[in-house]
Amino acid sequence: MRRPRCKRPIAPNRSSRCSQECQSHDDNYKRNGTIDLYAALKLATGEVTHQFTPQHRAIEFKKFLVLIDKSVPKELDVHIVIDNHSTHKTPAIKKWLLAHPRFHVHFTLTSSSWLNLVERWFGEITEKWILRGTHRSVKELADSITQWIGTWNENPCPYVWHKTADEILDSLRGYLERIVDSGH
């Protein structure tokens, strides 16, 4: 999967920092706090809706669902592909989803997050922006991410699968045959 003809913002490498691969676990790393980022990717356009929360609980996830509900036209169904995190399965979330039948939840299998295209987007923002920047506070990090998402959404385009499902399954079948016959 690749992004065709879409130019995305890339932060410059800092001259004082070598590539991620050459950093050791103790290279003066200092965590200045954390923040949770919820993101929804509109598959047809590539546009991203996001929300920051200080924690990752059902109450924060519900607030994000409300944000999505407000931002998507009422006549459209909403399909959400999410991991099997327990936050998404709480009674409060189940009750909210029952009250909003246009929302359809699809859970990915364990180790199958690659099926969720927003995970590819998380990889892209991490590689092209977060790891290349210096963020001395949670607010600075959130502001930086919001800036990057704004630039992203100025010229959004969707991710495109370049293989059919049959081609992917054939490739997987060949891989499984090779590892079974490898003698290990």
Separation of alpha carbons 96 and 90, rounded Å: 10
Q: Is residue 3, in this structure, part of any structural domain at all? A: no
Q: Hey, which residues does 36 pair with through a beta bridge? A: 53
Residue 88 lies in a domain: yes
Whether residue 1 contacts residue 157, with contact meaning beta carbons closer than 8 Å, is answered with no
- Determine the pLDDT at residue 39: 92
Percent of the chain whose pLDDT exceeds 90: 36
Domain extent for 144: 22-180
Q: Determine the pLDDT at residue 183.
A: 61
Residue type, 181: D
pLDDT digits (tens, 9 = 90+) for 28-78: 556 677 888 999 999 889 999 999 998 889 999 999 999 999 999 999 999
8 located within any domain: no
User: What is the CATH classification number for the domain harbouring 54?
Assistant: 3.30.420.10
Q: How far is CA 146 from CA 51, 52, 175, in A?
A: 9, 9, 40
- Tell me, yes or no, whether 172 lies in a domain: yes
**pTM of this structure:** 0.70
Residue 145 within a domain: yes
Per-residue pLDDT tens for 119-142?
A: 888 888 988 888 888 888 889 999
Q: How many domains does the chain fold into?
A: 1
| 131 domain-assigned | yes
Per-residue model confidence (pLDDT) at position 173: 86
pLDDT for res 129: 87
> Is residue 24 scored above 50 in pLDDT?
no
DSSP state of 102: T
What is d(CA 120, CA 46) in angstroms, rounded to the nearest whole number? Answer: 11
Q: What is the distance in angstroms between the CA of the first residue and the CA of the last residue of the chain?
A: 31
